[in-house]
Structure 1
Amino acid sequence: MTTSSAVTGEGPDLVLVHAGVADARMWSRLVDELTDRYRVITLDLRGYGESPLVPQYSDAGDLLGVLEELGARDVVAVGASYGGYVVQQVASRRPELFSRLVLICAPTDNVEPGEDLRAVWAEENTLLEAGDIDGATELMVDRFVGPEADAEARELVRVMQRRAYAVQLAAGDVDNEEWPIEPEKISAPVRLITGAHDFRFFADSADYLEQRLPNVERVELSWAGHLPTLERPAEASGLIG
């Protein structure tokens, strides 16, 4: 089984990798805006959207496989949250493949989550263990979608998160091979975007990366939560540059 992916438009290669509370649908509006400038590549990571889970896999390996299968080069990679974590893994191993990275509210290695985020994860696990999928979904929407988001954005995250739970809970235990992140090896320019209304962990991750990446730009959005491209979609294309 392979990951579900889509390619639209023509031009330089741009890959969009979704957040862990979403799937490739989070980029739908942005894809429409960018297809006149880029060959836009989207994918559902395993356990999200249309990509089934398998017992052993690698999100980083799947992303690299999609790019290699398409013959992508000089890639602009945009990763939101967990998608940004996956992008960092691939860019650490294959830095020559990328021309630019945009990491939006992304975690990284060697940075620990705070008690506030751990508490959300604990509450999520409690709800899931009790079979309360709707309650866990609402928790994620409430905690991860920022104050600027409209009802349409919240409903989209609700639908995507519920789908992820359905796929992941049905699969049971799985093993995702992660690759080490080595910021010093990422030679492409990197834009780090964080939101003032997000969990501190993601700003701490950006702080860590800012100190170690060779070519870095830091942007903090005073209005944003964890998913700024959904919270103010009219500004999304400007955020990725």
Structure 2
Amino acid sequence: MTLAHDVAGDGSALLLLHSTVCDRRMWDPQLPALAGAGFRAVRCDLRGYGDSPVPAEPYSDAEDVAELLDTLGADRVALVAASGGGRVALEVAARWPSRVSALALLCTAMAGHEPSAELRAFGEREDALLEAGDADAATELNVRTWLTPDATEQTREAVRAMQRHAFMVQLAAPDVAPIRAEYDLGAITAPTLLVSGARDLVDFGQIATRLAAELPDARHIELPWAGHLPSIERPDEVNEILLDFLRVDS
């Protein structure tokens, strides 16, 4: 299955992978800036998000992404990814290092990370609400957790719509487990930018700090104002950070 996607601009290929709180619409503020800077910017919906259906059999997000790159004829690509999309980007960059020219990760998740008590409590509360059939309350929990109090109501409504849609699609489908592949983060060769938010859950700053120390060519920026979704809350500021990095490393 080819992931739902759209393309803007011409030039070097760049793929945007969304947070699992959102879908590809989260990149609305980034797409014009990246296309205008000379990139062929592609954004896709991972399975069970946006316009990509839930799979009927075991699947791999990373292999879906590799298949999408093949479909697009993109032998080499820069990856920009947020949160759960960052976990997918790390796997792609580790399994197919020659295909990734640069890696920009915003508040990224990481396979194997031991969650903090706060993150575990969030997951348990979300699960309980969904098991009780209260997707609206689970959606509001996500909006409160992942956006700062400074977020505009327009931003909150955008995240609310994306998260609730994902819940509705996923809850209506059979539960299918993803395929967990073995890979070594030490295989990553792409220059890497790690962005975290000082107002996010501690887990994501910890992950960024660890990856900055472990990856061969990586640097970490912590944004003092940011929560978990900085590209949505202050897009112009994040666009500038991304373009500064990508222009150097593309």
Give the TM-score normalised by the residue count of structure 2: 0.93
**Over residues 94-114 of structure 1, what are the superposed CA-to-partner deviations in whole Å (9 max), with x where a residue is unaligned?**
111111100111121332110
User: Shift of the alpha carbon at 1:61?
Assistant: 0.6
CA distance in 1, matches of 2:237, 2:11: 22
Q: Structure 2 counterpart of 1:208, which letter?
A: R
- Report SS of the residue matched to 1:51: coil
**Over residues 7-36 of structure 1, what are the superposed CA-to-partner deviations in whole Å (9 max), with x where a residue is unaligned?**
111011111000010000000121022212
Q: How many pairs align?
A: 241
Q: Is the 1:146–1:228 Cα contact (8 Å) retained in structure 2?
A: no
CA distance in 1, matches of 2:59, 2:75: 24
Q: 1:182 to 1:146 in 2, by over 3 A?
A: farther
Q: Structure 2 counterpart of 1:238, which letter?
A: E
The answer to whether 1:44 aligns with 2:45 is yes
Report sequence identity in percent: 44
- 1:139 paired residue number: 141
Q: How does 1:61-100 map to 2 (within 5 A)?
A: 61-100=63-102
CA distance in 1, matches of 2:127, 2:100: 36
Q: How does 1:3-14 map to 2 (within 5 A)?
A: 3-14=3-14
User: Shift of the alpha carbon at 1:73?
Assistant: 3.3
User: What is the RMSD of the two structures over their aligned residues, measured on CA atoms?
Assistant: 1.2
**Over residues 105-157 of structure 1, what are the superposed CA-to-partner deviations in whole Å (9 max), with x where a residue is unaligned?**
11213321101011011111111111111100000000011233211111100
- 1:15 paired residue number: 15
- 2:125 paired residue number: 123
Q: Structure 1 counterpart of 2:46, which letter?
A: L
Q: Is the 2:13–2:39 Cα contact (8 Å) retained in structure 1?
A: yes
Q: Is the 1:60–1:178 Cα contact (8 Å) retained in structure 2?
A: no
- Report SS of the residue matched to 1:14: strand
Q: Structure 1 counterpart of 2:117, which letter?
A: E
Structure 1 window deviating more from structure 2 (230-239 vs 96-105): it is 230-239
CA distance in 2, matches of 1:42, 1:32: 12
Q: How does 1:1-241 map to 2 (within 5 A)?
A: 1-36=1-36, 37-54=38-55, 55-241=57-243
CA distance in 1, matches of 2:182, 2:20: 19
CA distance in 2, matches of 1:214, 1:66: 27
- Report SS of the residue matched to 2:227: coil
CA distance in 1, matches of 2:93, 2:15: 12
CA distance in 2, matches of 1:147, 1:184: 37
User: Shift of the alpha carbon at 1:181?
Assistant: 4.4
CA distance in 2, matches of 1:59, 1:126: 26
Give the TM-score normalised by the residue count of structure 1: 0.96
- Report SS of the residue matched to 1:35: helix
Q: Structure 2 counterpart of 1:192, which letter?
A: L
CA distance in 2, matches of 1:93, 1:73: 14
**Over residues 36-72 of structure 1, what are the superposed CA-to-partner deviations in whole Å (9 max), with x where a residue is unaligned?**
2110111000010000011321111111111121111
